[in-house]
Chain A
Amino acid sequence: MASDSRRKAPRPGFVLDVDRSTPPILFHHGENFRLEKLPPGRSRVIYPAEPLPGLPDPEESIRQALLSPIDDDPLPSLMKPGMKLTIAFDDVSLPLPQMQRPDIRQRIIEQVLDMAAAAGVDDVHLIAARALHRRMTEAELRHALGDRVYDAFAPQGALYNHDAEDPDGMVELGRTRHDEAVTMNKRAAESDLLVYVNINIVSMDGGWKSTATGLSSYSGIRHHHNVETMAKSRSFMDRHASELHKSNWRQGEVIKNHGPRVFQIETTINNNTFGYDGPLSVLQKREWEWTARDRATFIAMKSGLGAMPSAARRKIFQSWKAPYELTSVQAGEVEAVHEATLENCFRQHIVPVEGQTDILTLGLPYICPYNVNSVMNPLLVMCLGLGYFFNMYRGRPLVREGGALIMSHPTPWEFHPVHHPSYIDFFEQVLTDTTDPAEIERKYEKQFAEDEWYRHLYRTSYAYHGVHPFYMWYWGVHALQWLGRVIIVGGNTRSVRRLGFQPATTLQDAFEMASDVVGPHATITHMHNPPILMADVT
Chain B
Amino acid sequence: MIRESLSGKRIAITGATGFLGTAIVERLLRAVPQCELVLVVRPGRRGAQSRVDRDILRNDAFDSLKAAYANDPVAAGGLDDETFADMCRRRVSALGGDVATEGMDLDPDDLALLATCDIVIHSAAAVSFDSALDDAVEVNLLGPHRVAQAVRDCAAIRTEPTAAGLAPGVPAHLVAVSTCYVAGSRRGRAPEQLVDESPFFVDVDWRAEVDNARRARVRAESDSRTPERLEALRDEAYDGLGPAGGPAIAERTEQLRQRWVAKVMTAAGRSRASSLGFPDAYAFTKALGERALVETRGDVPVSIVRPSIIESALAEPSPGWIRGFRMAEPVIAAYARGLLKEFPGVPEGVIDVIPCDLVVATILAVAARGPKTDDKGVDHPDVTQIASGSGNPLEYGQLVGLVRSWFTEHPVYDEKNQPISVPEWSFPGRGRVSRQLGRARKGLDIAEKVLDALPLRGRQAEFGAELEERKGQLEQANGYVELYGAYTECEAIYELDNMYELWDSLDDADRAAFAMDPKLVHWPTYVHTIHLPSMVKQARLKMAPGSRQSSSRHDRLRQQVLEPRRQLAVFDLENTLIASNVVSSYAWLATRHLDTPDRARFVARTLREIPTLLALDRADRSDFLRYFYRRFEDAPVERLAADSAEMLSDLLITKSFPAGIRRVREHRRLGHRTLLITGALDLVTKPLRPLFDDIVAAEMSVTDGVYDGRLTSVPPTGEARYQTLVDYASTHDIDLQEAVAYADSSSDLPMLEAVGFPVAVNPETKLASIARKRAWLIEHWDKSKGAPSRVLPIGPLSHGIARRRKILDRSML
Contact = CB atoms under 8 A, between A and B. Distances in A.
Interface of A: 138-139, 142, 147, 151, 311, 375, 377, 412-418, 421, 424-425, 428-429, 451-453, 455-457, 460-463
Contacts, number: 66
Kindly name the residue among A147, A417, A424 whose own CB sees the greatest number of chain B CB atoms within 10 A. Answer: A417
A457 B803 CA distance: 27
A415 B785 contact: yes
Given A151-B803, A460-B648, 19 more contacts: A138-B799, A377-B786, A412-B785, A414-B784, A414-B785, A415-B658, A417-B784, A418-B654, A421-B658, A421-B661, A425-B658, A425-B662, A428-B658, A428-B659, A451-B665, A453-B665, A455-B690, A456-B690, A461-B687
A311 B789 contact: yes
B756 to A, nearest CB: 26
B268 interface: no
B656 interface: yes
Interface residue SS majority, chain B: helix
B648 A461 contact: yes
B690 A452 contact: yes
Contacts of A139: 799
B791 to A, nearest CB: 12
A429 B662 contact: yes
B581 interface: no
Contacts of B803: 147, 151
A453 B690 contact: yes
Interface of B: 645, 648-650, 653-654, 656, 658-659, 661-662, 665, 687, 690-691, 783-789, 799, 803
Contacts of B789: 311
Closest A-B pairs by Cβ, 7 of them: A414-B786, A417-B784, A375-B786, A456-B690, A461-B649, A414-B785, A424-B658
A462 B645 CA distance: 11
A413 B783 CA distance: 12
A162 to B, nearest CB: 18
Contacts of A412: 785-786
A418 B786 contact: no
Nearest to A371: B786
Contacts of A421: 653, 658, 661
B634 to A, nearest CB: 26
A142 B788 CA distance: 22
Nearest to B664: A453
A429 B648 CA distance: 24
B786 A417 contact: yes
A412 B785 CA distance: 9
Contacts of A457: 653
B649 A418 contact: yes
Contacts of A451: 665
Contact of A416 (B650, B665, B690, B786): B786
Contacts of B785: 412-415
Contacts of B648: 460-461
Contact of A417 (B690, B783, B799): B783
A465 to B, nearest CB: 15
Given A429-B662, A461-B648, A415 B691 contact: no
19 contacts: A138-B799, A142-B799, A147-B803, A151-B803, A414-B784, A414-B785, A414-B786, A415-B784, A415-B786, A417-B654, A417-B783, A417-B784, A418-B649, A421-B653, A428-B662, A452-B690, A453-B690, A461-B649, A461-B687
Contacts of A416: 784, 786-788
A489 B653 CA distance: 32
Contacts of A428: 658-659, 662
Contacts of B662: 424-425, 428-429
A436 B648 CA distance: 34
A452 B690 CA distance: 7
A413 B665 CA distance: 22
A20 to B, nearest CB: 42
Contact of B658 (A142, A375, A417, A456): A417
A375 B665 CA distance: 24
A424 B339 CA distance: 43
Contacts of A461: 648-649, 653, 687
Contacts of A414: 784-786
B647 to A, nearest CB: 10
Contacts of A452: 690
A424 B654 CA distance: 13
Contacts of B787: 416-418
A274 B83 CA distance: 92
Nearest to A314: B786
Nearest to B648: A461
A460 B658 contact: no
Contacts of B786: 375, 377, 412, 414-417
B784 A462 contact: no
A147 B806 CA distance: 12
Nearest to B786: A414
A414 B654 CA distance: 13
Contacts of B650: 418
A16 to B, nearest CB: 36
B653 A460 contact: no
A340 to B, nearest CB: 38
Contacts of B783: 417
Contacts of B653: 417-418, 421, 457, 461, 463
A302 to B, nearest CB: 22
B673 to A, nearest CB: 15
B573 to A, nearest CB: 15
Contacts of A377: 786
A418 B578 CA distance: 13
A429 B663 CA distance: 12
Nearest to B806: A147
Contacts of A147: 803
Nearest to B666: A429
Contacts of A429: 662
A40 B159 CA distance: 117
Nearest to B655: A417
B555 to A, nearest CB: 14
Given A417-B654, A461-B649, A424 B784 contact: yes
B415 to A, nearest CB: 24
A417 B656 contact: yes
A137 B595 CA distance: 21
Nearest to B665: A453
B593 to A, nearest CB: 15
B656 A460 contact: no
A275 to B, nearest CB: 26
Contacts of A138: 799
A415 B785 CA distance: 6
A139 B653 CA distance: 19
B500 to A, nearest CB: 71
Contacts of B691: 453
A428 B658 CA distance: 10
Contacts of B788: 311, 416
Contacts of B784: 414-417, 424
Contacts of A142: 799
Contacts of A456: 690
Contacts of B658: 415, 417, 421, 424-425, 428
Contacts of A425: 658, 662
Nearest to A134: B649
A492 to B, nearest CB: 10
A138 B783 CA distance: 26
Contact of A460 (B654, B659, B665, B687): B687
Nearest to A417: B784
A455 B689 CA distance: 13
A349 B659 CA distance: 43
B649 A462 contact: yes
Nearest to B658: A424
Nearest to B799: A138
A119 B10 CA distance: 116
Kindly name the residue among A151, A413, A416 whose own CB sees the greatest number of chain B CB atoms within 10 A. Answer: A416
A466 B603 CA distance: 37
A417 B648 CA distance: 11
Contacts of A418: 649-650, 653-654, 787
